[in-house]
Homo-oligomer: A and B are copies of this chain.
Amino acid sequence: MCRWAAYRGEPLYLEDLVSSPAHSLIEQSHCATRAKTATNGDGFGIAWYGDHPEPGRYRDILPAWADCNLKSIARQIRSPLFLAHVRAATGGGTRRDNCHPFVHGRWSFMHNGQIGDFDYLRRPMESMLDNDLYAARTGSTDSELLFLLALQFGLEQDPLGAIGETLAFVERLAEHLERKVLVRFTAAFSDGHDLYAVRYASDWKAPTLYAAPMGPSGGYCLVSEPLNDDDNAWVEIPDGTAVVIGENGVDVRLFGTQGLAPKV
């Protein structure tokens, strides 16, 4: 289980989510309150969009609470669209390549959740990747692999459709191999224009997801758990839901893998 926070709107300093709030992401790295694990000390990462189509990124393996670079960078950088993550490793060693957000071209992606029996599913999942995406895999987490599969299945053309296909593929694959069918997936991702989030679990026990207005005007943030105690400000996004934050505000849709054509 990990914790994350993402923002889209008028430019905001990264610290406005990462370190300043009462229950900031750095605070959550030490004392998450709505997660299965209170400590998210296995590294962290931020990806932010600026002048270039592809995002900048800073990630490292220290606990977020102990990294002085993170505080300084988050205080200086202002961005209209950014993702930040603190990790509690469930699989994959503590190393930079396993820290979220993952980045490919202009896309960024971060994830909180798990795949059942990933040790068995990993190889057939990797075998679905084109050579380019196979070569782009530098870590060993299920999260990075889900991102690369989503790119394989058309993330650029149809973001939510590609995520749906990816999760359906994993479920079918587990079924086909007679393994436990379990996908828990609360993720945020972006192409630099829109901010997407999905909360989904095959057992309806997806990690929490909340949304709230944020920033000077018309901005929104999406988080694993609220950044402060103002309960009225935060809306819980229900299981089986996708959120798209774009120029025209927030769009919320049902999200599921039922009825998606089998790929296995």
Contacts and interface: CB of A to CB of B under 8 A. Distances in A.
Interface of A: 30, 38-39, 41-42, 48, 50-52, 55-63, 66, 68-69, 72-73, 75-78, 89, 93-97, 119, 122-123, 131, 134-135, 138, 140
Contacts of A123: 131, 134-135
Nearest to A59: B69
Given A51-B76, A72-B58, A95 B94 contact: no
5 contacts: A41-B41, A42-B66, A56-B72, A60-B60, A62-B94
Contact of A62 (B62, B119, B131): B62
A56 B77 contact: yes
Nearest to A60: B69
Contact of A95 (B58, B59, B89, B96): B96
Contacts of A134: 123
A44 to B, nearest CB: 12
In the assembly, how many copies of this chain are there?
4
Dominant SS among interface residues on chain A: mixed
A89 B135 CA distance: 17
Given A30-B39, A73-B73, A66 B94 contact: yes
Contacts of A41: 39, 41, 63, 66
Contacts of A96: 68-69, 93, 95
A66 to B, nearest CB: 4
Contacts of A75: 52, 56
A175 B135 CA distance: 21
A96 B134 CA distance: 21
Nearest to A61: B62
A35 to B, nearest CB: 14
Contact of A97 (B39, B61, B62, B95): B95
Contacts of A73: 56, 58, 73
Contacts of A93: 66, 68, 96-97, 138
